[in-house]
Chain A
Amino acid sequence: MSNTIHMSYEVPANDFTRAGEASSSLKSSLKKMGVNPEIVRKVAIAMYEGEINMVIHATGGKIDVVISPEEIEMVLKDQGPGIADIELAMQAGYSTAPDNIRNLGFGAGMGLPNMKKYSDEFNIESTVGVGTTVTMKVKM
């Protein structure tokens, strides 16, 4: 058997106060495993931004994490509205978040750019009306 650990998190819909619980839980687990603090921080920030996106734009979703000696892989999957123009969505500052989300401190159009910035590999696949899957890998 390969030396990998799988973790799975449900992100609840429309519950902004609970957004971040999955990232917080993963962060504590990685710290306990003795993973380098800088890597832990990159993973936590990337996943937290994704989690917030799932709450703001979709109706929650599911996050699967695979931790191996080489890397940490996070797969964030939602059944939200999907993204029509991924290139546009990736531009820093571009956001479709409503004003009430901006008042809560998010929707600056930095979520996806930050997720890409903090991961070593970043992939996003989206179909309008079906959902979005973001895969991020951070090397150990």
Chain B
Amino acid sequence: MNIEDIRSILGAKYIVGEEWKEREVHTACGSDMMSDVLAFMKDQSVLMTGLCNLQVIRTCEMMDIICVVFVRGKLPDEAMIEMAKEKEIALLSTGHRMFAACGMLYEKGLRGGPDYK
């Protein structure tokens, strides 16, 4: 699955990073708590979140997360957009709520990686 597949499945729109739409996404996580996100090291992952502040982009930078989907129609501010461009992190926004957005991607085969040990 790539970033464009995620956009299409979720009926999302690009805020940043349409040019990176072919990048492959291997795993996903959904959380509003960034320390929960930081607990799982994954490769080429997408983050689904309802949290909308600069630390979301910072967290993705540290984790090498390549794409963020903001759920419930949330939109990032200018500072977040600028940082995402600089760090090459695609930002998408969907009107779906967290549970539905995660379920839709799961149904299409995207998985969350190993359980917390």
CB distance from B53 to the nearest CB of A (A): 6
B64, A37: Cβ atoms closer than 8 Å: yes
B36 at the interface (CB under 8 A from A): yes
A105, B61: Cβ atoms closer than 8 Å: no
A41-B56 in contact given A105-B32, A105-B33, A114-B35 (Cβ < 8 Å): no
A24, B58: Cβ atoms closer than 8 Å: yes
Contact with B along A32-64 (1 / 0, CB 8 A): 000001100110110011001000000000000
B51 at the interface (CB under 8 A from A): yes
A135 at the interface (CB under 8 A from B): no
Which residues does chain B contribute within 8 Å of A137, judged by CB atoms? Answer: none
Which residues does chain B contribute within 8 Å of A113, judged by CB atoms? Answer: 39
Task: Give the interface of B toward A (CB within 8 A).
Answer: 32-36, 38-39, 41, 49, 51, 53-56, 58-59, 61-64, 79
Which residues does chain A contribute within 8 Å of B51, judged by CB atoms? Answer: 104-105
Interface residues of A in 70-113 (CB under 8 A from B): 102, 104-111, 113
A44, B33: Cβ atoms closer than 8 Å: no
Instruction: Look across to chain A and name the residue whose beta carbon is closest to the beta carbon of B35.
Output: A110
Which residues does chain B contribute within 8 Å of A27, judged by CB atoms? Answer: 61-62
Which residue from A41, A52, A117 sits with its C-beta under 8 Å from B63?
A41
Interface of B is mostly: helix
Task: Give the interface of A toward B (CB within 8 A).
Answer: 16-17, 19-20, 23-24, 27, 37-38, 41-42, 44-45, 48-49, 52, 102, 104-111, 113-114, 117-118
B34, A45: Cβ atoms closer than 8 Å: no
A16-B35 in contact given A27-B61, A45-B41, A48-B62 (Cβ < 8 Å): no
21 examples of A-B residue contacts, CB within 8 angstroms: A20-B62, A24-B61, A41-B62, A45-B38, A45-B63, A48-B38, A48-B59, A49-B38, A52-B55, A102-B33, A104-B53, A105-B35, A105-B49, A105-B51, A105-B53, A105-B56, A106-B55, A110-B33, A114-B35, A114-B39, A117-B39
Which residues does chain A contribute within 8 Å of B56, judged by CB atoms? Answer: 105
* Whole-angstrom CA separation of A10 from B56 in the bound complex: 22
B55, A111: Cβ atoms closer than 8 Å: no
* Whole-angstrom CA separation of A49 from B15 in the bound complex: 27
Which residue from A41, A42, A108 sits with its C-beta under 8 Å from B35?
A108
Which residues does chain B contribute within 8 Å of A48, judged by CB atoms? Answer: 38, 58-59, 62
